[in-house]
Structures are given as C-alpha cells and as structure tokens.
Chain A
Amino acid sequence: MSCSRRAFLKDAVGGTLASVLPLSAFAFLSTEEAKAAIAGSKVRWAFLVDTIKCIGCGMCVTACKNENEIPFDAPVTRTWVERYVVTKDGEVHVDSPLGGRDGFTDNKIRDEEFAPEDITKAFFVPKLCNQCDNPACVQVCPVGATYQTHDGVVLIDREWCIGCGYCIMACPYGVRFFHPELRVADKCNFCYHRITKGLQPACVQSCAFGARRLANLEDPDDPVTKIITTERVAVLKDEYGTKPHVFYLGLDANVR
C-alpha cells in the first residue's frame, strides 16, 4: 500500500513538472540560429537632436500624439519639449506644459515672469525615448513584454504587458507611461511602423527647422550619422550605463 502510494506521488510530481514546462521552451533558438536570423541587417537606428535649432513650437508633440494614437488631451506623451531659462542669479527654471504640445507662447514659468535683462540664456530641449543599447526597462520586465529589436529599437508587446509599471520605474529618462486607453506601458519607438518602411518618424517629418533627425549608425554614408560621428555630440544621463542612442548637439550642462 505505502509503496504504491510512493510510486503514485513520484508519477504525480513528474507529471506536474512536465505539464508546467512551457511548450515555448522547445522553440528557443540557438545562438547561431538567432545570429543567422538577423544576419545581413545593417541597421542601428539612432536620433540626433539639434537643440540650437529647436524653437519650441510643439509641432513634433502634436504630430506624435496624432500618429501614435495617444489621447490628445491626456497629460502623457511619447515625446516632449522642455524650456530652460537660466537667470543671472544662477537659478535654472524649467517647464514643459502639456509636454510643450501647444508651443511656448507665454513668457511665464509657473506664474513667474523674467525680465529679459535678468536672463543669461534660454533654450528648448526635445526629449524622446533613447532606445538604449543597455535598456533598463527591458532588463526589469518580468514577462519579456518589452524587448529590443535587432536594429536597436525597444518595443512593447501590448498583448503581453501585465501593467506592473516596473519598466516605468526603471527608466531614468521618464519616457514611459501607461497608455490611457490600453492600460499597458507605452513609449516612443522612433515610429517603428514608419521607419521600417522607409518613412521618417512623425516628429522628424513635422519639424520645420530640422531640429530632429533620424540616423542609421550602420550606414557610414548617412548624413546624420556623419554628424554624430564627426561632431561633438552628447547624450543624456550617461552615468546610468544605459548607453542612450539619442544624441544632442548643443546640450547645456543644466539639462536634466
């Protein structure tokens, strides 16, 4: 009696283990297979922001919201523009009302107006996802719903995201948010649906001043890549080791 129970328990444990082993385990590719699948791809998307050219009109934000179906009046956005005003007393005043969507038509920052003679410098800084080479968001996703494509863009599987918010917490740049309608994590992906078809991202196309440009770092003849490789560019918050791929021309030390 006790012996057959032992056998039964053994089989039960074995059966349970076998049944919980996900079938997807058998679909894993070997390293060689994975490499072969992406071989020949000569694309690494990157972005160049020329802060000197940005005038803070907010057309990029409007275009992005429309293109990517982010509710227009919701206070979340895939890209935004920050305004910096540095005054003579050394204070740095920053704002980005509605992500700069409607442009900066008011001289006031949080009800404070600055006399032109008190301002030492003022400028705009567009922000978007940095499509990091070492993305913290991908590392922390518990289900693998956010992942990096072979051409460097970080994407989100809306069908698989559980909405825990860990990726939002892990991103040092604050680019992630919960989509107000879909209730899953969302962020800029350089308009992946457009760039993979040879089009420009919506924000790049809508920028009348050429402040935003897309680059393929794998293509040495790409004019934007030439700027990134030959001119003095900076990235945001490199101390986090995320290896961001949005490069800035004319980035000020006060930019956070």
Chain B
Amino acid sequence: MTEDIIVHGVEWTVKELFVYPNEFIYWSIQIVMYPYMTGLVAGAFVLSSLYHVFGQKDLKEIAQFSLVFSLALLPVAALPLLLHLQQPARALEPLLTPHFTSAIAAFGIVFTAYGLIVLSEIWFVYREYFVAQVQALRGTGGFWNALRRVVYGALTIGAHDVGDEALRVDHKAAKILAAVGIPVACFLHGYAGFIFGSVKANALWMSPLMPVIFIMSAVVSGIALCMLTYIVIMEWQAFRERRKGGAVEAGEIKGAETEIITKAARYLLGFLVAAISLELLDLIFRGYTAMKSWDILRSVMYGKDFMNIFVLQYTLGNLVPFVLLILPGRTMKRTVLALLLVLFGVFMMRWNVVIGGQAFSLSFSGYMHYEIPIIPHSLETFKEGLFGALTVIAAPFVFFWIINKFVPSLRRDLKGS
C-alpha cells in the first residue's frame, strides 16, 4: 500500500463535543449540488410540459426554451455524483450490477429513461426545423455550412417527410412524451429526496415528506432558472435591436417578455407556497412529536444553523421573493431580484438538508461543522470545494450555448433563420 493517506472528510470537518471517531462530513458540496441540479432539470421539464400537455398556451414561448434548457442541464445532474465518488472509474457499476434495494441503484435507469424522453421529445418538436435546414443548406459552400449540413442531416435520422400528416404525428408524439415525462421527471427528483428521506440513521433526513418536498422545491427552482435565463436572453435581444435602431422591434420583444414572465410567475408562486407549506409541516411535526433526536435537532436548527435555515433559506430565499413577486407594480428588475433569491433559497434548502443532516453526531452528543475548501490544494479539495461547485454551476450554460447553436430554443430565432 503505497498510496497517499487521505482521510476523506478531515480537511473540512470540525468536530465539537463527542463525535464517533469515524464520523466526518462525508457528503459535502457536490451532494448539495446533485439534488440542486437534478431539481433544475426536473423543474425546467415540468415548465415545458405545462404547455405541451396541459395546453397552457400562454407558456408557449418559454416552454420550448425550457425543454432545450432541460437537455443542457441533464448531463450536469450526473456530474456532481461523478465528482463525489471516491472511485470515479467505477461509475458505471450501478448500471452493470444494480442492487435494487438501494435508492441510488435506480439512478442510472431513471436518468437514462428521462434523457431518452427529453431527447426524443426535442427531436419530434424540431424535426420540421431540421429538415428545413438541410434543404436550405443544400448547395451552399464553406466549411461551416458543410458541417451544419452534416449535423442537421444526421439529426433528421433520415426522416424527411414534412407533410401535414407527418407533422401531426410529430405533435402528437411530442405531447405523449411530455405527458410521460412529467411523472418520470418527478420520479427522477422524488427519488433524490428518497435517497435522503429513507436514511433511518439520520434524524434530520428520515421523513416520508422528503421526496414531495424535493419535487416541489425542484419545480420552483426549475421555473425560476428558466424565467431568469429567458429574461437575460430577451433583454439582450432587445438591447441588440435597439442598437441597430429598431426601437419598434425592441419594444415588441419587451412586450412579449413581460407577458410571459407574468404568467410564469403565477406558476412559480403556486409551487413556492406548496414547497414552504410542506417544509413547515415537517418542522412543526418534528417539534410536536419531540422524539429522542429532537433535542439535538432543535439545537442545530434554532441554534447553530439558525442563520442558514431561518434567515437565509426561509426569509431571504422564500419570504422576500414571495413578497417581491406578489406586490403590485412589479418591474423586470424586481422580478430578476426575486428569481435570484428564489434560486438562492432552494440552494440553501439543499445545503441545510445535506450539510445540516451531518451537523450533528449519530451519538446525539456532538456537532460537526463543514468548512468548505475555498482555495484548492489537491484534487480532493477542488472537487469537494467551492471551485468544484462553480464548475458544476457553469457547465449547463456552456452546454446550452452549444446546443442552442443547432437547436434554437427561442421561436424568434427559429423564424429568423
């Protein structure tokens, strides 16, 4: 045995009072990122399905955008798990020898099924566009056009029929996939909640409400991120039009943007109320039943983590954006602020569950504090530190930028090209 000695967790765990020798914060920032990113995927997909399945026509524009965005988020949901594994080279084992009594074993299967649904739905929605591109690019010169022609040709998978009947089938298929996708998206995220909720050894995690709470907050964060990215893109387009001298076009873009954001905000508020209600129910129930673990849970919630839970999560992340969105005379700037706070609030909720669940010892006689590594000095402190988390946050935007080059997520771009 010549490998370096690295005791996983020693770097960032500070123990207080009596903690079992082997206890450390084993699940750190990447396991905070994992349900956060999965939640964003599921939420973005649910937002797009509100239009495709339930015919919420007012969401048409943002629905298509959300669908493409959920594809960009999808690979990033698996990234934190990969970064967290002590044996990343064995990452495919849960698919090869799944042990089905484990909640994690379902990940590969649900994740793959969900990925296939998103990909095929996008294909049915965009097939007409792909065919149009192949036809438009026929006979054009240059390397970039040749590359695009090859890519679009491949994307059509040889289905060039764009007759009325074929397109009708496309729409129907997209609708069915969106409908199937909702329960799968909820399952994808609900089971992330189950991973925590089923750990009977952990007094904070163990709760049958955990999967439902996770789904609700997932939809909240997904809608918020889609709205935010949508606003940024629309503002940028309006800004570009204005610089070109097209004040009328810029005004049009702004008008459409305001209408859609107002409607999406209504759904956001609804899911936000559901998420907060469930979380408070969980908290009240724990206090009222006051099981053996309540003494230490109370000291963590109302003492050590008070700032994180009640100030940052509930007040700044839930209450303030709720008021900002519901007060009359809402401006776009106020909406952006509210959305940023909502995203922060959901992140804090994940933090308080994952890190908060390890803030006390299994002996109920001591505490552990997580000191997130800021400046990495090894692969371990990079992966499980601030920069590892930032890498995970940045990745979906890079993917989105690349995907958007071939699959324009906004109807406006579709018309333009």
Q: Are A141 and B102 in contact (CB under 8 A)?
A: yes
* A5, A80, A142, A181: the one within 8 Å of B94 (CB): A142
| A210 beta carbon closer than 8 Å to chain B | no
Contacts of A181 in B (CB 8 A): 1, 3-5
Contact with B along A21-63 (1 / 0, CB 8 A): 0101000000000000000000000000000000000000000
Chain B interface SS verdict (over half): loop
Contacts of B78 in A (CB 8 A): none
| A171 beta carbon closer than 8 Å to chain B | yes
| A74 beta carbon closer than 8 Å to chain B | yes
* A94, A127, A138: the one within 8 Å of B18 (CB): A94
| B20 beta carbon closer than 8 Å to chain A | yes
| A136 beta carbon closer than 8 Å to chain B | yes
Q: Are A169 and B26 in contact (CB under 8 A)?
A: yes
| B237 beta carbon closer than 8 Å to chain A | no
Q: Of residues 158 to 209 in A, which have CB atoms within 8 Å of B's CB atoms?
A: 160-166, 168-178, 180-184
Q: Are B26 and A178 in contact (CB under 8 A)?
A: yes
- Tell me the complex Cα distance, A173–B200, Å: 12
- Tell me the complex Cα distance, A195–B363, Å: 30
Contacts of A145 in B (CB 8 A): 93
Q: Are B362 and A141 in contact (CB under 8 A)?
A: no
* B20, B96, B200: the one within 8 Å of A174 (CB): B20
Q: Are B102 and A140 in contact (CB under 8 A)?
A: yes
- Tell me the complex Cα distance, A163–B83, Å: 11
Chain B proximity of A141: nearest CB distance (Å): 6
| B105 beta carbon closer than 8 Å to chain A | yes
Chain A interface size range: 35 or more
| B61 beta carbon closer than 8 Å to chain A | no
Q: Are B85 and A162 in contact (CB under 8 A)?
A: yes
| B202 beta carbon closer than 8 Å to chain A | yes
Q: Are A170 and B105 in contact (CB under 8 A)?
A: no
- Tell me the complex Cα distance, A139–B96, Å: 17
Chain B proximity of A65: nearest CB distance (Å): 12
Given the contacts A71-B5, A142-B99, A162-B93, A92 and B22 also touching, CB distance less than 8 Å: no
Q: Are A77 and B7 in contact (CB under 8 A)?
A: no
| A76 beta carbon closer than 8 Å to chain B | yes
Q: Are B101 and A69 in contact (CB under 8 A)?
A: no
Chain B proximity of A170: nearest CB distance (Å): 6
| B189 beta carbon closer than 8 Å to chain A | no
Counting chain A CB atoms within 10 Å of each CB, the highest count among B17, B98, B105, B201 belongs to: B201
* A75, A94, A169: the one within 8 Å of B202 (CB): A169
Given the contacts A142-B94, A162-B91, A180 and B5 also touching, CB distance less than 8 Å: yes
Given the contacts A75-B10, A172-B201, A183-B86, A142 and B26 also touching, CB distance less than 8 Å: no
| A151 beta carbon closer than 8 Å to chain B | no
Q: Are B84 and A164 in contact (CB under 8 A)?
A: yes
Contacts of B96 in A (CB 8 A): 22, 143
Q: Are B27 and A139 in contact (CB under 8 A)?
A: no
Given the contacts A142-B105, A143-B99, A172-B201, A163 and B93 also touching, CB distance less than 8 Å: no
Given the contacts A94-B363, A139-B102, A166-B102, A178 and B8 also touching, CB distance less than 8 Å: yes
Q: Of residues 97 to 125 in B, which have CB atoms within 8 Å of A's CB atoms?
A: 97-99, 101-105, 107
Contacts of B91 in A (CB 8 A): 162
Q: Of residues 332 to 373 in B, which have CB atoms within 8 Å of A's CB atoms?
A: 361-365
Q: Are B99 and A141 in contact (CB under 8 A)?
A: yes
Q: Are A143 and B97 in contact (CB under 8 A)?
A: yes
Q: Are A240 and B201 in contact (CB under 8 A)?
A: yes
Q: Of residues 1 to 50 in B, which have CB atoms within 8 Å of A's CB atoms?
A: 1, 3-10, 17-18, 20-24, 26-27
In the complex, the 7 A-B pairs of residues with the closest C-beta atoms, listed nearest first = A163-B86, A174-B20, A142-B104, A144-B99, A172-B201, A256-B363, A177-B22
Given contacts A5-B158, A127-B20, A173-B20, 8 further A-B contacts (CB under 8 A): A74-B5, A74-B7, A142-B102, A165-B86, A169-B27, A169-B202, A240-B201, A256-B18
A-B contact pairs, 20 of them (CB 8 A): A5-B158, A77-B21, A94-B365, A140-B104, A140-B198, A143-B99, A162-B93, A163-B85, A165-B8, A169-B26, A169-B27, A172-B200, A173-B362, A177-B22, A181-B1, A181-B5, A183-B3, A183-B8, A240-B201, A256-B18
Measured CB to CB, the residues of A under 8 A from B are 5, 22, 24, 69, 71, 74-77, 80, 82, 92-96, 98-99, 110, 127, 136, 138-145, 160-166, 168-178, 180-184, 239-241, 256
